[in-house]
Amino acid sequence: MGAKVLLVDDDPDIASLLKDELEEAGYEVKLCDVGDEVLGVLHSFKPALLVTDVMLPGIDGYSLITHMADDKQLRDLPIIVMSALTTSRSMFETIPQVKAFFSKPFNTDEFLEAVKSALAK
């Protein structure tokens, strides 16, 4: 198995599609669909990359990333953000951990390239 990826999305269709694509590309993937459980899963699963939606039950993606920045074990973890809210892109552009932002729907080939690139850095 390749690098570990934590995928956080409360839409089961998108989560399933991306999980399948990532696993087919050789990554080990864990799904999480509740925002307020993510920090605990990050500490127990220890992924090399976080892929997260912005709108989540329990905590939004921006607040999640803010909490991660305050945690010395998580502050350098690369992140890919995805959202149906294209206007939220600007919120994440200045965060060094965020390596890519995808507006839903998006091209899965471009997404996989972004994953590869984020893990290579």
Q: Say if 84 falls within a structural domain.
A: yes
Q: Is the pLDDT of residue 1 over 80?
A: no
- Flag whether 60 is in a domain: yes
Residue-level pLDDT at 26 = 97
pTM for the complete prediction?
0.94
- Assess if residue 15 is contained within a domain: no
- Establish if 100 belongs to a structural domain: no
Considering the domain boundaries, does residue 16 fall inside one?
no
Domain extent, residue 34, equals 30-94
Residue 27 has pLDDT above 80, yes or no: yes
What pLDDT is attached to residue 57?
A: 84
Domains identified in the chain, total number: 1
> Which residue reads 């998006």 in tokens?
106
Write down the pLDDT at residue 59: 86
- The answer to whether residue 74 is domain-embedded is yes
Q: What percent of the chain has pLDDT over 70?
A: 99
Q: For residue 76, is it within any domain?
A: yes
The answer to whether residue 9 is domain-embedded is no
Assign residue 47 the CATH number of its domain.
3.40.50.2300
